[in-house]
Structure 1
């Protein structure tokens, strides 16, 4: 048993050898037979190629032959008929007929030379053409050769024979080439017919070229030799007639029709009539000189007509030869291809047979080794039945492993919807693996859903599901980039809801959320499908529109959005409960066009959003419920405000600001106990800038906080100087205005402490004036005011009566002083006076002091005294004055009070 594998190897090798021998025997025989066929076809192609060359050479030589024959006619005519002794010069210089024949001879020689030049281009015909050219040159040179007139006459008389011998030689060469072509054609019917037509046509044109020279020889024959010279003429004439009939009877259609047409042409008719008449009459008398010249000219025309038929026959012969060659070449390619294919198949079959036994086993072993290394290779099922059984088993194992690999790869790639993950894997192991994969898929799908939800939450508002501020900016940026490429414009509408805070305050945040969701839904329903609605936060929304056709359309669209939003909003919990809000809309349109990117043109998403927000703020300031456009006027206004803001910032840095003080007079004593500090801007080169110009600009920026800090520090420092100087200014209290932005700043308390500590002023000598609206709208401000009161600072409500503070709220607001707005003081309406009385009475009830602003007339002083007002300030007592004039103003207020007391009350 130990040598069994070795025996099997010997049997395998022996079988391969036998199979190889069995296959190689027919392969070798087939190769030999196919080689013989290919060689035969190759020889046929070579012969066909040679036939083409022979036909072309024959055509070239026949063209030279025809031109030489034409050349002989006028020359022979001049010699035979005119009997000229030119002495080597052109014949007949003084004779008209000689001149005409000389011209014809010159034209003929020119045509001959041109034809010779063309014929030498054929490599096969070139040696014979060159030889004929040398002989032609000798013939031309022999014209008029000799020392005596008799010798020259004899030489000239021999010209016709010389031309004839030259033409006959070329005709024999043409026949030889055509005969060779017929032999090389090897029995091709088309080529044989074409060559036969060519030979018949060439024979006929040769005979046609001999007729006129023989006729001229007959006319110039000496007396007694007419019969001998007439016989060649008659043979050539009869030979042409027979050859012509042979063409019309046996030639192919194109040659027959062409030959018939050539015979019908006028030059041919002239020649045929002249020669036929000569044959019929047998006359030896030469024709007139005019007839002779006409005959010489007609011969050229007839030869050209017959030559065109010869060209047609030659073209047919060349085409037939080319066709024969192409057929032979196709057969060569076909046989060679078939032979090569058969050889390739035979060799492939031999190799396949030789390897059909051992190769399958080798491949199976190689596959098994690869699988053992973890490589999942294909297992070919081939070879003997036993090998196929093993291959199928190994292939099934590989297929199962591949299914497991494919499912694992799909999970790794995140392709959770791949069909492969739904296919179970066969076998117990496959079932466990498939169950594990399904469990992993469940976990990963849950994670993907969570990630998608988180991504959506990161870019969308949770309450309205609209895109949030970050997503809105991203979409605006993409729209601007598209506009940059297309040259179109982008529009942005900024919606700021009106009265929304009142809904929150009066109905609660649940109602406010319902209003926001309804507004979002209405906006989505109102816009186009391509427009984008987003919520920036709070009660602010934007609508992105692209492309924009015109600004007027955006304004109309903005008004439609206002109408949509302003409809009553049903509230949850009650069918009758509704909220009524409004909206102010700001419109901004991009200025980006094709050719400049957003960054290059200064256009960016946040810039466009800021412009729309600015326009919305302008709409709110203009009365709400309207649409404003960020146009060039607004842009210029903002530019002016920006310039003013820069100047104000520089004024703070370069100490251009000053404080003016307006005294507050006690209506009971006439004394001034406090002043209000008012900021003024002493701009170099311009003088005082009115506070109504720069204060609003400062309030729209952080400069108002800097301005407030400066006013605190400066006013308290000035109090210290007044105290040090003594006099009327000593011991005064000061009131400083604090803006809403500064009040909301967490630094306010520290700013006040620092100013008090720096000046050493007692806190109770400082009063901070806060507008009623700011205090009511900001809950955090109350706590900050409580903290300031805790350190001793007084708090005053400025412009009281213009806001929302009710008398009931005075008991709990953290204030010490009420400053009645000048609009109440200036009114003469009795109801307004009564209202002032109520304010004063309510203030006393809650322990608050009252200051009336804007007092400018004595009647106002009397009215305020009548209602029990504590103190007043206004132009009646003193205008705001600089610090150095304040002591005098304090004294002046007391004097005005004393004067007022001495006046009798009016009425």
Structure 2
């Protein structure tokens, strides 16, 4: 069936509208008319864009000058420390009066907005609305944020107008003048923004920070350099350079350059300089901008006039054709072109994101398109409302729950539902992660990282209120025994009980935190005196030390732990949380050394002690690097043969100005830092190298073995194995000639000790437990320990008590039962030697045989033992 046709098709009407003028104009003027017409339009459009840019730039400058006194007044009124003053009260008062007067006068800004209205009405109206909001802001921070947003929008409009002018095919001098105007406009805008950014930082507005100021400051200096280096119009460059060299500009640039180099608090004196000098600098720069703008307007007007003159000549030729086609064009426009133009304009608005009302009139084809466009706009409005609700966080409103009609609406609604679900899940996960990152998983107390944050905040509050902050470092005593005896689950339960007791003991505003392991801290604000902190520490000790009934243990069996407490008080102005924690840690270390279960306060004496220890550590590090450390060697005698079979290497410090420093004076300092690892690494390398030198010399010292003491801290490091293998490789000696000696407590305190000792034995290095019998190792554990030799502590060997003699014999017998060698330390008398021989001890060392001596003084004689057990050198 052939469809019915109603009226003339839209295509025929459009063809008639296009063909009549095109054919007529092509016959009369052709391409020349189009060219002249285009040039005239471009010139006029460019002139309009430039005028709009100039008008809006005046608005932007007026706004920038309005915000400067507001921020300057806020900065001048802000309290500052003495270091940030830099101005007399009289200067501040005068500057405050001047800035208040300028801030109160808004006529210049309003006049600029009004002047811009005829040129760019929408931009001026938008600026007026935003300006009203900025002026009524509740505080300088909010006001500056709104001013800054307005300046940014105005700058965008100015740039849009100038870019639009450049796209219109401008030529010659006009293009060059427009380049100068763009450069000057940008530099002038950045000049105002850098001052406002700095004053916002000085006023503590919060809308910007120092990084924002540095970016704007750098951008302004680059823009100013672009103006000075431009060669389009040397006069403009010279004028800008003269403005930059004015006294006011130099004062402003000096203040801002100093602020860019220093991150300290801005001085009041600098704010006074800016408040009094910026208007003068702005006037000088504004004059340069007016000069550049005048050149653009004058050249654009000249080009427009020339284009219009040429166009008029051509239009005379086209008049007859235009008159003939005018009647038909007007009639067609009434019927088709006008509604079609409206529809096209509305379509462009919709394409640009504007959801306008669509008029449904005109020819049938136009009505159909308008109806479809109107339906699409309605759907988009619904989707936009849903998006706005989601963005505002109103996820359960009616708009979000109601889907848009049609298949597309169902798809969009499903997507919105997924977005809402994902949003809720993300919020939940973020909250969980934030809590986990800041709290200890076992006790739910703030962890170490959060402790530092809370302490830092408390110190800042105390500094503002001229108060003090106290920190109690609580270290549990004998907690490891609970883990070893009842297991880690019992230890975890005990920690939770301790955390709960501490929380119940402190005041409501105090904060209990867990640093890790068995270490806790209590943060106390509003400290009046140290006695209150000591009393709190004693209450904590009593609460922690009370018996605890753990799950799974018999009802009558309770466990006990104690606590040692170190107290540190943050002095006024001290804002270093790490330092406060370290001070409290040092105090608790002294509490443990004093017998545990007591409260110690970090005082000047302890501070001096730590300072002296730090100085000694520095000197020891220099001595290690400078070759001041030496090894002395003490022979270890085989009691069966009476001959030296190995030596123990002992570190000594030949300190300039102090003589030979004994190890007890510097080893504890090294033990407290990583320096002891460097010391152990050096001792391994030096001792093995000495064996090589003795082997090369020959004689009684060739073929000896050597034992080197290794600290617990060094043994816990992964690089210990590398240090040992490096020493063996460098010297070339067999691994079996090296023995590493460790203390018995290392096996208890260092979890990685056993693993590293097994690795050492796998490469052939022997392991000895030094000072055996003074720690917590039981004889039953010997079969499981990766060791080769037990060294019995001198306190058992030298003790006259009969019980100790029995204990020595028991230790020797037990070691032999597990195929371990035994070395007795500290042998100084023949009676002691006789007892060791009677107990079948393998080896011994002590002053009876030889004292520790330098390598070259190691004695050559053997030590003979007679039948009565007395020793004599042979």
**Normalization by structure 1: what TM-score?**
0.53
Residue pairs, 1:144-223, within 5 angstroms: none
1:416 has 2:394 as partner: yes
Number of the residue aligned with 2:863: 894
Structure 1 residues 429, 842: closer, same or farther in 2, change over 3 A? Answer: closer
Number of the residue aligned with 1:175: none
Check whether the contact 1:500–1:539 (CA below 8 A) recurs between aligned residues: yes
Number of the residue aligned with 2:434: 455
> Within 2, Cα distance between the matches of 1:417 and 1:523?
42
1:188-219 deviation digits (Å, cap 9, x = unpaired): xxxxxxxxxxxxxxxxxxxxxxxxxxxxxxxx
1:469 equivalent among 448, 454, 469: 448
**Cα shift at 1:427:** 8.8
Number of the residue aligned with 1:140: none
Q: Which secondary structure does the structure 1 equivalent of 2:846 belong to? A: coil
**Cα shift at 1:489:** 1.3
**Cα shift at 1:505:** 2.4
1:442 has 2:421 as partner: yes
1:258-295 deviation digits (Å, cap 9, x = unpaired): xxxxxxxxxxxxxxxxxxxxxxxxxxxxxxxxxxxxxx
> Within 1, Cα distance between the matches of 2:734 and 2:375?
99
Number of the residue aligned with 2:641: 669
Number of the residue aligned with 1:579: 559
> Within 2, Cα distance between the matches of 1:366 and 1:495?
79
Number of the residue aligned with 1:148: none
Number of the residue aligned with 2:721: 749
1:488 equivalent among 453, 467, 471: 467
1:822 has 2:794 as partner: yes
Residue pairs, 1:336-351, within 5 angstroms: none
> Within 2, Cα distance between the matches of 1:370 and 1:638?
79
1:543 has 2:515 as partner: no
> Within 2, Cα distance between the matches of 1:695 and 1:517?
37
> Within 1, Cα distance between the matches of 2:812 and 2:838?
11
Q: Which secondary structure does the structure 1 equivalent of 2:745 belong to? A: helix
> Within 2, Cα distance between the matches of 1:421 and 1:623?
71
Number of the residue aligned with 1:556: 535
Check whether the contact 1:664–1:672 (CA below 8 A) recurs between aligned residues: yes
1:311-347 deviation digits (Å, cap 9, x = unpaired): xxxxxxxxxxxxxxxxxxxxxxxxxxxxxxxxxxxxx
Check whether the contact 1:715–1:734 (CA below 8 A) recurs between aligned residues: yes
Check whether the contact 1:400–1:430 (CA below 8 A) recurs between aligned residues: no
Number of the residue aligned with 2:586: 614
> Within 2, Cα distance between the matches of 1:404 and 1:854?
90
Check whether the contact 1:677–1:734 (CA below 8 A) recurs between aligned residues: yes
Check whether the contact 1:811–1:846 (CA below 8 A) recurs between aligned residues: yes
1:688 equivalent among 655, 660, 671: 660
**Cα shift at 1:725:** 2.2
Q: Which secondary structure does the structure 2 equivalent of 1:475 belong to? A: helix
Q: Which secondary structure does the structure 1 equivalent of 2:752 belong to? A: helix
Structure 1 residues 453, 538: closer, same or farther in 2, change over 3 A? Answer: same
1:813 equivalent among 782, 785, 788: 785
Check whether the contact 1:615–1:628 (CA below 8 A) recurs between aligned residues: yes
**Cα shift at 1:368:** 14
> Within 2, Cα distance between the matches of 1:562 and 1:417?
51
Structure 1 residues 822, 438: closer, same or farther in 2, change over 3 A? Answer: same
**Cα shift at 1:568:** 2.4
Check whether the contact 2:830–2:871 (CA below 8 A) recurs between aligned residues: no
> Within 2, Cα distance between the matches of 1:429 and 1:718?
88
> Within 1, Cα distance between the matches of 2:342 and 2:501?
72
1:755-788 deviation digits (Å, cap 9, x = unpaired): 2222232222221111111023334222222222
1:723 has 2:695 as partner: yes
1:639 has 2:608 as partner: no
> Within 2, Cα distance between the matches of 1:902 and 1:458?
68
Point out where structure 2 has 5 or more consecutive residues left out of the alignment. 1-6, 8-340, 359-372
Number of the residue aligned with 1:526: 505
Structure 1 residues 713, 429: closer, same or farther in 2, change over 3 A? Answer: closer
Structure 1 residues 439, 878: closer, same or farther in 2, change over 3 A? Answer: closer
Check whether the contact 2:830–2:869 (CA below 8 A) recurs between aligned residues: no
1:683-739 deviation digits (Å, cap 9, x = unpaired): 112111111000101111111111111111112222222222233222222111111
> Within 2, Cα distance between the matches of 1:726 and 1:760?
17
Structure 1 residues 901, 427: closer, same or farther in 2, change over 3 A? Answer: closer
Point out where structure 1 has 5 or more consecutive residues left out of the alignment. 3-364, 380-393
Number of the residue aligned with 2:261: none
Check whether the contact 2:633–2:649 (CA below 8 A) recurs between aligned residues: yes
Number of the residue aligned with 2:829: 857
Check whether the contact 2:349–2:356 (CA below 8 A) recurs between aligned residues: no
Number of the residue aligned with 1:189: none
> Within 1, Cα distance between the matches of 2:630 and 2:692?
16
> Within 1, Cα distance between the matches of 2:554 and 2:809?
44
> Within 1, Cα distance between the matches of 2:525 and 2:480?
32
Structure 1 residues 676, 571: closer, same or farther in 2, change over 3 A? Answer: same
1:877 equivalent among 849, 853, 873: 849
Check whether the contact 1:491–1:590 (CA below 8 A) recurs between aligned residues: yes
> Within 1, Cα distance between the matches of 2:611 and 2:655?
19
> Within 2, Cα distance between the matches of 1:837 and 1:490?
57
Q: Which moved more, 1:499-508 or 1:697-706?
A: 499-508
Q: Which moved more, 1:772-781 or 1:805-814?
A: 772-781
Structure 1 residues 421, 639: closer, same or farther in 2, change over 3 A? Answer: farther
1:592 has 2:597 as partner: no
Q: Which moved more, 1:823-832 or 1:427-436?
A: 427-436
> Within 2, Cα distance between the matches of 1:900 and 1:650?
51
> Within 2, Cα distance between the matches of 1:376 and 1:848?
91
> Within 1, Cα distance between the matches of 2:615 and 2:486?
43
> Within 1, Cα distance between the matches of 2:871 and 2:517?
58
Q: Which secondary structure does the structure 1 equivalent of 2:767 belong to? A: strand
1:862-893 deviation digits (Å, cap 9, x = unpaired): 22222222222111222111112113xx42x6
Q: Which secondary structure does the structure 1 equivalent of 2:666 belong to? A: helix
> Within 1, Cα distance between the matches of 2:840 and 2:635?
19
Structure 1 residues 604, 512: closer, same or farther in 2, change over 3 A? Answer: same
Number of the residue aligned with 1:206: none
**Cα shift at 1:439:** 5.7
Number of the residue aligned with 1:766: 738
1:804 has 2:784 as partner: no
Number of the residue aligned with 1:90: none
> Within 2, Cα distance between the matches of 1:651 and 1:556?
44
Q: Which secondary structure does the structure 2 equivalent of 1:668 belong to? A: coil
Structure 1 residues 737, 426: closer, same or farther in 2, change over 3 A? Answer: closer
Q: Which secondary structure does the structure 2 equivalent of 1:788 belong to? A: helix
Check whether the contact 2:834–2:869 (CA below 8 A) recurs between aligned residues: no
Number of the residue aligned with 1:29: none
Residue pairs, 1:27-46, within 5 angstroms: none
User: RMSD of the alignment, in Å?
Assistant: 3.5
Check whether the contact 2:863–2:871 (CA below 8 A) recurs between aligned residues: no
Number of the residue aligned with 2:128: none
Check whether the contact 2:386–2:399 (CA below 8 A) recurs between aligned residues: yes
Residue pairs, 1:306-317, within 5 angstroms: none
Check whether the contact 1:665–1:873 (CA below 8 A) recurs between aligned residues: yes
**Cα shift at 1:403:** 6.7
Structure 1 residues 421, 855: closer, same or farther in 2, change over 3 A? Answer: farther
1:792-833 deviation digits (Å, cap 9, x = unpaired): 222111000011222211222111111100110121221111
Number of the residue aligned with 1:498: 477
> Within 2, Cα distance between the matches of 1:848 and 1:696?
30
Check whether the contact 2:632–2:652 (CA below 8 A) recurs between aligned residues: yes
> Within 2, Cα distance between the matches of 1:760 and 1:700?
32
Q: Which secondary structure does the structure 2 equivalent of 1:570 belong to? A: coil
Query: Looking at CA atoms only, which structure, 1 or 2, has the larger radius of gyration?
Result: 1
1:104-148 deviation digits (Å, cap 9, x = unpaired): xxxxxxxxxxxxxxxxxxxxxxxxxxxxxxxxxxxxxxxxxxxxx
Check whether the contact 1:661–1:676 (CA below 8 A) recurs between aligned residues: yes
